[in-house]
């Protein structure tokens, strides 16, 4: 499905609650040494954010998505809101604040594709509990949250779970409430460093089993260029990442989660979900930006073949 066209599924499939961002991306030739200086080889402004990018990936696979998160009233916030709308995402439940939109400075090393991120976010962009569309959270087939505003994410997750919905979570940092959020959802997807940090187990499989809760349907971990692992039905599933030449890894984890959501909604097996999400993330690494790097369903399917 071409990006920018409307999703072909009419029912509300995914509600995403969390972050959007305007990214100022600067590319440099190699890693910057301490106290070092080097020229910027190129720069650009692009759109991203954990939930916004994941929803774009799900929408590119044809799902009806709704974004719940605050935009700033500045030029960048207005442009990002229109971009999400153009990508087929419903932003009617997303309030606008009279502040600068959340933004990040991303430094990308051209030699490796690795990046460093510096970000700034006005506290006014935090959602208020009364702004959560509870009827949408209960009606959607799946709710996706991040770990930026944990209180709001927890509230959204518990509303959706009480209605019997699938709840996925993007967990990539350790805070005093990380375990609480992980325990609140049905399909947590964590960054590579999280299992060991939470459990103290250096063995990844052992750490995942320690984090497992009875209401978890799946528990996944992204491993960057090494692929991804998933605990489901008591079994460990692993899929390597397709080999690609990484240009920019910004947003790859978010694209993985959006593609993972596609697999869940499609009723795919754990192994198929991992292969599909890995392929989507790998393709995103071959392009610059976060939302700009989201592949189409046809492109992912072609890589898998």
Fold of 14-304: 3.40.1190
Proportion of the chain above pLDDT 70, given as a percent:
97
Mean pLDDT, the chain, rounded, equals 93
Residue 1 has pLDDT above 50, yes or no: no
Domain extents in the chain:
14-304
What is the pLDDT at residue 10? 57
What is the pLDDT at residue 33? 82
Residue 115 has pLDDT above 60, yes or no: yes
Mean pLDDT of the 166-186 span: 96
What is the pLDDT at residue 5? 38
* Residue with more model confidence, 113 or 142: 142
What is the pLDDT at residue 2? 34
Angle at 158 between CA 156 and CA 162, to 5 degrees: 120
- Tens of pLDDT, residue by residue over 5-58, are 344 445 899 999 999 999 898 989 988 888 888 999 999 898 999 999 999 999
What is the pLDDT at residue 110? 83
pTM: 0.91
Residue 271 — pLDDT band, cuts 50, 70, 90? very high
- Tens of pLDDT, residue by residue over 238-261, are 999 999 988 888 899 999 999 999
What is the pLDDT at residue 288? 86
Phi, psi of 287 (to 5 degrees): -135, 160
What token pair was written down for 162? Answer: 């009480």
């Amino acid at each position: 499905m071409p990006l920018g066209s409307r999703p072909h599924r009419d029912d509300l499939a995914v509600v995403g609650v969390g972050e959007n961002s305007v990214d100022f991306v600067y590319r440099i030739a190699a890693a910057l040494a301490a106290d070092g200086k080097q020229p910027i080889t190129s720069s650009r402004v692009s759109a991203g954010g954990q939930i916004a990018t994941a929803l774009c990936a799900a929408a590119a696979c044809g799902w009806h998505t709704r974004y719940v998160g605050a935009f700033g009233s500045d030029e960048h916030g207005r442009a990002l809101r229109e971009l999400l709308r153009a990508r087929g995402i419903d932003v009617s439940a997303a309030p606008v604040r009279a502040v600068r939109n959340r933004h990040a400075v991303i430094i990308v090393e051209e030699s490796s594709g690795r990046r460093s991120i510096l970000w700034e976010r006005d506290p006014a962009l935090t959602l208020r509990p009364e702004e959560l569309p509870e009827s949408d959270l209960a009606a959607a087939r799946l709710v996706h949250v991040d770990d930026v505003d944990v209180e709001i994410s927890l509230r959204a997750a518990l509303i959706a779970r009480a209605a019997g919905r699938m709840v996925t979570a993007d967990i990539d940092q350790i805070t005093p409430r990380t375990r609480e959020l992980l325990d609140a959802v049905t399909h947590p997807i964590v960054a590579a460093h999280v299992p060991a940090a939470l459990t103290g187990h250096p063995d990844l499989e052992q750490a995942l089993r320690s984090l497992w809760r009875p209401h978890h349907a799946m528990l996944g971990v992204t491993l960057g260029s090494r692929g991804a692992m998933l605990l489901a039905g008591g079994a460990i599933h692993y899929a390597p990442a397709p080999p690609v030449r990484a240009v920019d890894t910004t947003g790859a984890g978010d694209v993985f989660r959006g593609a993972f959501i596609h697999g869940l909604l499609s009723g795919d097996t754990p192994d198929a979900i991992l292969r599909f999400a890995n392929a989507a993330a790998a393709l995103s690494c071959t392009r610059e930006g976060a939302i700009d790097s989201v592949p189409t369903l046809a492109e992912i399917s072609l890589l898998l073949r």
